[in-house]
Structure 1
Amino acid sequence: MDIDWSALGEVAGVSIGATVAVVVVFALGVRVLSGPGPDGEPFRAGDGAGDEAAGPQGAGAVRAAPLPLFVAGLCFLACLAAVAYGLYLIIPQFH
């Protein structure tokens, strides 16, 4: 039995690199979504206590701006595409 060590190292390196890239992009998406609000604090919806008349999100709700939502959506879409491509490569019925 002969092992091609250079190919094994290449596969391991690409796997680790791709994993780190997906984790970093996902973390960036989460960070963009949890950006600071108008007072410098993270966005948060009301605690729900006594906020029934204020609408479905409560009185303390702050809506995120469209650009951070768009950027976070792109980050999550990139992660989804990477996972889907990995599944495509692994599952032979998709070829």
Structure 2
Amino acid sequence: MKIDWEALGSVFGVSLVSTVVVVGLFAVGVVALSKQESAAGGGGGSAALARTGAYACFALCTAAVAYGIYLIVT
């Protein structure tokens, strides 16, 4: 039995980077939602921008997870 260490390292690296990106995007979305609550008292424009940014981050997280599931299934 021979282990392809290069392929194993490649899979590990891609998994690590994609995990950090998805978790980071989710964290930015949560922070944007919390900023939206604090910005709601100061004016409607920044609150709407924060909400839109948060939804965009959550949509990107959902797209990344859906793509991962697609890769596993096919």
Query: TM class by shorter-chain length?
Result: 0.7 to 0.9
Aligned residues: 69
In the TM superposition, what is the alpha-carbon distance from 1:91 to its structure 2 partner? 1.0
* Matches for 1:65-80 after TM superposition, within 5 Å: 65-80=47-62
**Matched letter for residue 55 of structure 2:** G
Of residues 85, 88, 92, the one that matches 2:67 is 85
Which structure: larger Rg? 1
Structure 1: gaps spanning 5 or more residues:
44-62
* Matches for 1:1-95 after TM superposition, within 5 Å: 1-35=1-35, 37=38, 65-92=47-74
What is the TM-score of this pair, normalised by structure 1? 0.67
Residue-by-residue CA offset, 1:14-68 (whole Å, 9 max, x unaligned): 0011001100000000001001625xxxx7xxxxxxxxxxxxxxxxxxx872111
Q: Which contiguous aligned blocks of 4+ residues in structure 1 show a shift greater than 3 angstroms?
A: none
What is the TM-score of this pair, normalised by structure 2? 0.84
Identity %, equivalent residues:
52
Structure 2: gaps spanning 5 or more residues:
none
Partner Cα distance (2:18, 2:38) in 1: 32
- Relative to its length, the structure with more helix (as a share) is 2
